[in-house]
């Protein structure tokens, strides 16, 4: 199970590097539309369990 969290985090960070400008100093500066698009991309590959506190913290932290 721990490996799945590492993989999810890796995918989240990869999306951030590929889609977010390096000029953005904070995740709060990323437009909501882009955040929603990135979550949509994650959901294609991941079955995110909304009741899993650990998964939710990862998503909230990065997205």
Cα–chain center distance at 41? 9
Residue 63 near residue 33 (C-beta atoms within 8 A) = no
CB of 37 within 8 A of CB of 18? Answer: no
CB neighbour class for 60 (10 Å; exposed up to 12, middle 13-18, buried from 19): exposed
Apex 41 CA angle, 38 and 43, nearest 5: 110
**Ranges of each domain in the chain:** 2-15+24-62
| pTM for the whole structure | 0.57
- With 60 as the cut, is the pLDDT of residue 46 above it? yes
Higher pLDDT residue, 37 or 2? 37
* Mean pLDDT score, 15-20: 79
């Amino acid at each position: 199970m721990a490996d799945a969290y590492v993989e999810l985090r890796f995918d989240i960070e990869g999306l951030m590097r590929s889609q977010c400008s390096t000029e953005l100093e904070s995740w709060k500066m990323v437009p909501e539309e882009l955040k929603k698009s990135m979550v949509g991309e994650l959901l294609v590959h991941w079955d995110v369990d909304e009741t899993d506190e650990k998964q939710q913290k990862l998503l909230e932290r990065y997205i």
